Amino acid sequence: MEVKAVLKHTRTTPQKARLVANMIRGKNVNDAMNILMFTRKRVARTLQKLLKSAIANAEENHKVLDVDDLFVKNICVDEGVTWKRNMPRARGMATMIRKRTSHISVVLDEKTATED
């Protein structure tokens, strides 16, 4: 049974978020939480909260009894809205600053006996 959690408009670039997301793809939920806990990237804390939300969704909405059987089936980091700002430069000019956002979605699934 697939369980999903989505986080939109988070203030991190998709490229930096994908670096951390690739580390936990396909891992057991407990292993993924440990990896995120000791990763020294700012987005790791955000992904840890999202993973906890997906686990809570599994317990409450889908009535999953054993959370230890869950694994990260898919984690997707897409580009969100880009905030555009201007920075003043020399001789009355301006430079565009792009503040990128991300949409992150996590899909958890239960591991069956045949998938071991």
Domains of the chain, start order:
3-115 (3.90.470.10)
User: Tens of pLDDT along 72-96?
Assistant: 999 999 999 999 999 999 999 999 9
pLDDT digits (tens, 9 = 90+) for 9-63: 999 999 999 999 999 999 999 999 999 999 999 999 999 999 999 999 999 998 8
User: Counting Cβ atoms within 10 Å, is residue 24 exposed (0-12), middle (13-18) or buried (19+)?
Assistant: buried
- Is the separation of the CB atoms in 95 and 86 below 8 Å? yes
Residue recorded with tokens 């317990």: 59
